[in-house]
Structure 1
Amino acid sequence: MTWGALITADDGTQFITEESTPISLQGIYTGSGTGYVNLTIPIDTNDVVLPFCLATGNIVFSYSISGTTLSVAAHANSADTAQFTVTCYVFTTREQPLPKWGVAIWDKNGKCILTNETKVLTDIVTIGTKGGGDSGLNLSTTRNGKWAIVPELAGFYVGVYQQRPIQIAAGFTANYNGSTTAIKSVLVTQPPHDAQIGAPLDTKTIVRAIDVSRYD
């Protein structure tokens, strides 16, 4: 660093104003429905984008980015007809809006990267051990408080139904009941009746999560 400021977050993360742009909260987005809910969120194509999701049910999340749109999909298991609410906390490297008063910091290109109102993404927790017995389809934990996760695939179940191959995806849910959050793998679709299900294809993936009560 030839000039600027060195700022350290509570978890020890360092931001050098000449070289670093913090990933910070762009906004909180919600939607409700049964079966399937899709959130369409505007973003800047030049920004890094990272969504963290939770729901009031065993809901599987996925997301995609196309141009200036982030699409976050929330799928309930096909056997679950209860209404649910999904909430997505979107973090980006967008230029920060200027506060009415306080502190503002710009990078060397003139982009405002940090103000006294910026909610910087910190304290990301890794749940599970990649490739271990507590990953992928076998990952299951309950945490006190309100936690959201980055959408991730847990694996697949493959089998045969009416002499045709079938494949059922499983993803991770963050099911918040008002006091605790259950984080585990969930099937997107129930296997058809009388289907023959073979050995699962386990991705052995982990989950990245944050305590979103810090951002509400």
Structure 2
Amino acid sequence: MADYGAMIVLDNGNPFVTPQSTPFCLYQKVVVNSGASGVAVAEIPIDPSYPAIAFCRVSNTTAPTFTHAGRVGGVIRVSSGTPVGAANTPHTLTAYIFAIFPQTLPAWGFAIWDAAGKLVLTNESRVLSDLVTVGTPGAGGGINIDQTLAGSWAVAPATLGMSLWQTMVQGQPVIISVMAYTGCRFDGVNTRINAVSNQAGQGSPAGGSNTGIVLTAINTAAYD
């Protein structure tokens, strides 16, 4: 227990205590349409000193679509696309960026500062909470993840594995590497989270690898 500060209990019963814990809060939500290209991209400027994490989902499509998120300095880049070699299918990418950053003092309510004088939490803060693990480590993770959740969910994208395909080019056998990324597709009722390749595999399977990792997802109802 803290010598001073506040203990706050979330809806799921999990507490966090200030000043030892500084929560991730919703920094920005972005929505971008892919158009006919089958690719959607958004770049979000952010202070390089802010720890951050991105969660993504796609909607308005029935086609397999992969998501990606990365950060270089003061820019977080989120994207989604249909596999190369497949039909370019329009879709909508929604990304939720959470960060530890100074909050805005509300007109009324409560406000909590840390020991350094930074405003870390107010009654208007939309705290990242109720994280759900998708998949199980090892054989039940990575490229073998395929789970459907009721409602609208977003996932922190990751590389799940890769597969090798042997094809013939000018009469010679060639090995092509196909990466498996994170798919998170909301159909208006349910969300399917699974591995989606970055290109359509052609030829004969020739091996591959599985990272075996699990994914982290959030229910977006609290942030839409």
TM-score, scaled to structure 1: 0.93
2-structure distance, mates of 1:11, 1:45:
31
Deviations 1:33-68 (A, max 9, x none): 132211100112111111110002432112221111
* Contact persistence 2:30–2:95 (CA under 8 A): yes
Shift of 1:89: 0.6
* Contact persistence 1:13–1:122 (CA under 8 A): no
SS of the residue aligned with 2:138? coil
Shift of 1:178: 0.8
Is 1:167 the counterpart of 2:177 in the alignment? yes
Shift of 1:181: 0.6
* Matching residue of 1:181: 191
The residue type equivalent to 1:50 in the other structure is: I
SS of the residue aligned with 2:147? strand
Structure 2: where are the runs of 5+ without partners? none
SS of the residue aligned with 2:137? coil
Q: Equivalences for 1:90-169 in 2 at 5 Å? A: 90-132=97-139, 134-161=140-167, 162=169, 163-169=173-179
1-structure distance, mates of 2:156, 2:15:
22
1-structure distance, mates of 2:120, 2:40:
32
1-structure distance, mates of 2:143, 2:54:
21
Is 1:81 the counterpart of 2:82 in the alignment? no
1-structure distance, mates of 2:82, 2:107:
42
SS of the residue aligned with 1:47? coil
TM-score, scaled to structure 2: 0.90
Deviations 1:73-115 (A, max 9, x none): 2121220322100000111001111112111111111111100
2-structure distance, mates of 1:13, 1:29:
28
- Of the three residues 62, 73, 78, the one matched with 1:72 is 78
* Contact persistence 1:137–1:185 (CA under 8 A): yes
Moved more, 89-98 or 57-66: 57-66
Q: Stretches of 4+ moved more than 4 A in 1? A: none
Is 1:36 the counterpart of 2:39 in the alignment? yes
* Contact persistence 1:52–1:149 (CA under 8 A): yes
The residue type equivalent to 2:80 in the other structure is: A
Moved more, 106-115 or 196-205: 196-205
Change (3 A) 1:82 1:102: same
2-structure distance, mates of 1:167, 1:88:
28
The CA RMSD measured in Å over matched residues stands at 1.4
* Matching residue of 2:216: 208
* Matching residue of 2:48: 45
